[in-house]
Amino acid sequence: MRSQASPFRSAFSLIELLVVIGIIAILIALLLPTLRKVRLHAQQIECAAHLRQLGTGLANYVAAFRGHYPVVGDHHAYGGDGTGEDHDGPGWTEALEPYFAKVPSGIYHCQSFPEGTINYFLGVHWLRIHEGRFDLMTSDIRYSSEYILSGDCTHARLYCPPFGQSQLYLLTDDCDKDDMLWNCLAYFGQEYGMNAHPAGNNVLFGDYHVACYKKFDPRYMTYNPKQLGQDFDQITSEQ
């Protein structure tokens, strides 16, 4: 025997639909900040992974060149021919390519920065002032686990406008970022500085480990490969 169909149809009223839409909107609003935090944390982890890989590339270069790291120089536009804003010679990232990765591969780019920029530097500030050389050597580094070898380049004057505040190079991003003159690892609150990640800035140390800091910490960091705890300004004042 067939069951008789109900004469009533199940359907949402307009008020019920609006209530459901309102609940969904509230849930989305609650989830968005969490999703943003997750995304930013993922960017920091990816950036740290890039720096660890850079450490491997630098180690390969050092092994091939008997303890010498790549030579740093002036502003270099990737693939340039020495004209315009590009200076003669390859940038250190270009010199590293046969032992690591191509610059356009994205390995030097942190997602916290604008697309197309190179966001890691090579630490040579002490070397320039005390030795007058531009090719750091492993033998220079006594405190490898504290020496700032590389990291997020967060100094605004090392980037072209409109993102950065470079006054000399307005058209090409530098593929040879180093801290000869400017403190590349400038933190929020310092002149021209910022923090690339909510947890701070990623730092690659001389023993190739990576850690993130919200500010310079003399207990764990130094710009002097032969002395602990010296910050960028201390090195500069000794010039």
- C-alpha 32/C-alpha 128 separation (Å) is 47
224 occurs within a structural domain:
yes
Residues 162-187: pLDDT tens digits? 999 999 999 999 999 999 999 999 99
Predicted TM-score of the model (pTM): 0.85
Residue numbers of the domain that contains 185: 14-237
User: Could you report how far apart the first and last alpha carbons of the chain are, in Å?
Assistant: 101
Number of domains in the chain: 1
Structure tokens that stand for 181 in this block: 């003159």
In terms of Cα–Cα distance, which of 47, 39, 32, 16 is closest to 212?
Answer: 47
In terms of Cα–Cα distance, which of 127, 151, 145 is closest to 221?
Answer: 145
CA 140: distance to chain centroid? Answer: 24
Give every CB contact of residue 5 below 8 A, 6+ residues apart in sequence: none
Q: Which tops the pLDDT comparison, 99 or 7? A: 99
- C-alpha 125/C-alpha 110 separation (Å) is 23
Indicate left, alpha or beta for 79 from its phi (over 0: left) and psi (-120 to 50: alpha).
Answer: left
201 occurs within a structural domain:
yes
Residues 194-221: pLDDT tens digits? 999 999 999 999 999 999 999 999 999 9
2 occurs within a structural domain:
no
3 occurs within a structural domain:
no
Cis geometry, peptide bond prior to residue 162 (ω within 30 degrees of 0): yes
156 occurs within a structural domain:
yes
Residues 136-147: pLDDT tens digits? 999 999 999 999
3 state SS of 66: coil
Residues 59-92: pLDDT tens digits? 999 999 999 999 999 999 999 999 999 999 999 9
Across the chain, what does the average pLDDT equal? Answer: 91
CB burial of residue 137 (10 Å; 0-12, 13-18, 19+): middle
8 occurs within a structural domain:
no
CB burial of residue 101 (10 Å; 0-12, 13-18, 19+): middle
In terms of Cα–Cα distance, which of 195, 169, 176 is closest to 113?
Answer: 195
- C-alpha 136/C-alpha 133 separation (Å) is 7
Query: pLDDT at position 1, please?
Result: 45
